[in-house]
Chains A and B, each alone.
Chain A
C-alpha cells in the first residue's frame, strides 16, 4: 500500500472478496521525506500515513516493512550501473521483479501469507490446466501488464491484481471516494520514486559522474561535444549542439550512447529503425512455450505506453530474438521488450543488442 488510490482500492477489494488481508507499506528509503512533493506518489512519511489511514477504514492491520537496503542494491544501484553501461533501464520493472514480487513476496510467504495483492492494472487468468497467465487489463489506457512482464510462473502463482477488470481509473477513484478514502483524488505518480525532484538527468549526473566527450557520426568522425553521455537517450534530436553540419543537411538523432568510450553516436532518422532486437536475460510469464526455438507469431512492446507491434520471436543461441514485422524506432539496450500473444503476456527480455534496419554505409 503505497498510499495511492490504486493499492488502496485493491486492498479493499481483496478484503471484500473474503481474504484475510494485512496492509504493508514498503519503506524503500532509509531517509524518507516528511511530506509529499511534486508528482511522487509514495515513499514519504505522509504517503505511509495515507496508507495507514486507508487500512484503518478498510479495517485491516497495517505494518511498514523495511526494504530500503534491498531496494538500494537491486533497484537504485542497478539503475546507476545500467546507465553506466550505456543502457536505459526501467527501475519500476526492476522493483516489481526484485522487491514487490521477490523480497516482499518471499518474506510474506515465510510469514504465512499466500499472495501479494497490488494495485496494478493487469489480469491473471487461469488456463484449463490450472496454469496462471498474465493478461492485459480491461482498461487498455491504464494497462500495466508491461511492467509486470518480468513475473515468472512461480511469482504469478502468488500474485493478485484486483483492479485488472476495472474499465477505467475514474471508476477506481469513484470507488475510493465512495469508500471514504482521503486519497481518492490524490494525483497519480509519474516520476521515478527515488529521484525526488523528477530531474533524472541531474540525479544521474550526481550519481554516475559526468565528463565531457565526443559526439561522433556513424563513421566515427567527431561532430560535436557532449557534457556527459548519460544525459542522452536514443532517439533524441534536440539539444545536441553539433558543430559539424551533416553533409546532406538533414537533422541528426542520437543512435547510440557508449559510456565505455564516453561517446554519443548520431545519425539520420532512418538509422534509428530497428529490424531486430535480442536479449539473453529473458523470462516467461507463466507457462513457457513448448518449443521456444521454433519461431512463433507475437506482438512486441518496448515501452510501458508504446503500441504493440506484430513480430516473430524465437530463442536462438541463448537469446530471445524478436523480429518486428516493420522496423521500429527508439529502441535502446537496457529497455525491456515484452512479448504478447493476444492479451496474454508471454514473456520478456531486457534488450542487449539491436540490429539496425539501415546498415552503415547503406
Chain B
C-alpha cells in the first residue's frame, strides 16, 4: 500500500518529536521533516503563519497526513491514518 507523503514539524529538543521520527523510520514511511526551532527567523515566521490555522496552540510535534494535522505524538492515531494496526 503506497503511503501518503507525510510532513512533520518538530523541535530538536523534544523527545516526543524524536520518538515520532524514530517510529516513521522504523516503519520505513517516507516523510519530510522540519526542525522549527532552528529555522531562520523569516522562515520560522512564514511557517508559523501557514501552520496557525492547523495548529493554533503551536504544539509539537505536528504531523500533516491525508490533509489532516495530528497534534502531538499520538501513535495510535497516526498508525490508523497510515492504515496500519496500532
- Do A and B originate from a single complex? no
Contact residues of A with B, CB < 8 Å?
none
